[in-house]
Amino acid sequence: MKQDSLSLLRKFVAPEYIYGAGSRKLVDRYAKNFGLSKIMLVTDIGVQEAQWSKEICDILVNAGFEVIVYNDVSPNPRDFQVMNGAKIFEEQECDSIVAVGGGSVMDCAKGIGIVVSNETHILSFEGVDKVAIPAPPLICIPTTAGTSADVSQFCIITDTTRLVKIAIVSKMTIPDVALIDSETTTTMTNELTAQTGLDALTHAVEAYVSNANSPMTDLHALEAIDIIINYLPKVYENPNNIQYREKMMLGSLYAGLAFSNASLGAVHAMAHSMGGLKDLPHGLCNTILLDKVIGYNFDSASKRYRDIAGKFNLKSSVAGDSFVKTDMMKFLKDIKQQLGVDKSFGELGLLSKDIPQLSKNAVNDACMATNPKETTNIDIERIYEEAI
């Protein structure tokens, strides 16, 4: 039977983005280009303490824009935080959003935008292509090198009733412009640097082995892996080196473009479930799961994992499959130890009794659809058990 030609088609979407030190200072120029007037600046307390949101606010105010600051954003942003932000946006008659922060801030900003334009609850958008009306103009200025929410069509929000993180996947969540400035990452702690860097690595690995991969996403994913493997240990040891910070921001950008178009897999599906239940850092959840999911998936995408092993500079990349799989898992365990993030879910409070619900949530996550290996509840439960 001839394969449906439509199944061979691939699309690639990306926002306009400016990459480079100092690019954040172009925010007023883009605000003028978009014809903005009253801007909601979405940020969080940590970014405010680091002075990045104040700097952006001052640039906008000095350029003649009115700015309303919304900072009620937690890690793993909650549904009610999005809804509160949307209410303030409407009450203050804002016309646009500037997000200054990490993935949680940018996801909350995306959520506020689509709630405002579609006039419905944020949780109603769960899944793929459920957003009908575009959001108001959105400018993203990331302050971490890992989440890539500034270039992706993903928006991740915590459902506080079900205690699960939902994935909203839609072109309507892609920012209008991203100002990707490595200088904003210089205030990250080493712990955050490691966790977000390994989050970016996970994005690239999962995008490359995704069953929705394409030549365009492969290009970005492999380059991201190469950059991150070489520069994450360096920036961890030399956190003030701006050249290393620039490389990590570039690696994060490439990884984001890859996964936004190829989607992700079991690592992210399981991490979303875990983050929703235990409110754990997303990058840390991915870090704990990555090597274990590779072990589970390997036989279904061995050629692609071999390519990744080559980017890890592993000599075993030309050996038999069992050697490559074992070597990759050991390599990732070693780098986690080197970066001080060699933790387990057991240490973070996961109990065996939690696993059936975690597994149920994970298999229903949108990211699981593009995992290279079909999964069952039992499969996912075993991986969670291994992660304890």
Statement to judge: residues 235 and 179 lie in one domain: no
The CATH number assigned to the domain holding 34 equals 3.40.50.1970
Strands 138-142 and 164-169: unpaired
Q: Which domain holds residue 315?
A: 188-387
Statement to judge: residues 95 and 160 lie in one domain: yes
Statement to judge: residues 155 and 212 lie in one domain: no
The CATH number assigned to the domain holding 266 equals 1.20.1090.10
Task: Output the pLDDT for position 8.
Answer: 79
Q: How many domains does the chain have?
A: 2
Instruction: Tell whether 198 is covered by a domain.
Output: yes
What is residue 78's DSSP assignment? Answer: B
Instruction: Tell whether 3 is covered by a domain.
Output: no
Q: What is the mean pLDDT of each run of 10 residues along the chain (388 residues)?
A: 68 96 98 98 98 98 98 98 98 98 98 98 97 98 97 98 96 98 97 98 98 97 98 97 98 98 98 95 97 97 97 88 94 97 95 96 96 97 97
Cα 322 from Cα 299, distance rounded (Å): 9
Statement to judge: residues 107 and 210 lie in one domain: no
Instruction: Tell whether 11 is covered by a domain.
Output: no
Q: State how far the alpha carbon of 219 is from the alpha carbons of 150, 249, 262, in Å.
A: 19, 17, 12
Structure tokens at 204: 């690239």
Statement to judge: residues 259 and 372 lie in one domain: yes
Statement to judge: residues 177 and 192 lie in one domain: no
φ, ψ dihedrals at 148, nearest 5°: 60, 20
Q: In what order do the strands lie in the sheet with 164-169?
A: 127-128, 164-169, 154-159
Statement to judge: residues 179 and 197 lie in one domain: no
- Percent of the chain having pLDDT more than 90? 95
> Which of 182, 355, 170 is CA-nearest to residue 253?
182
Cα 194 from Cα 234, distance rounded (Å): 11
Give the residue from 158, 185, 212 where a domain finishes.
185
What is the pTM (predicted TM-score) of this model? 0.96
Instruction: Tell whether 213 is covered by a domain.
Output: yes
Statement to judge: residues 181 and 192 lie in one domain: no
Instruction: Tell whether 261 is covered by a domain.
Output: yes
Q: Which residues contact 376 (CB under 8 A, 6 or more apart)?
A: 363
Instruction: Tell whether 303 is covered by a domain.
Output: yes
Contact 40, 97 (CB under 8 A): yes
Cα 385 from Cα 72, distance rounded (Å): 35
Statement to judge: residues 236 and 91 lie in one domain: no
Statement to judge: residues 35 and 118 lie in one domain: yes
Q: Which amino acid makes up residue 254? A: Y
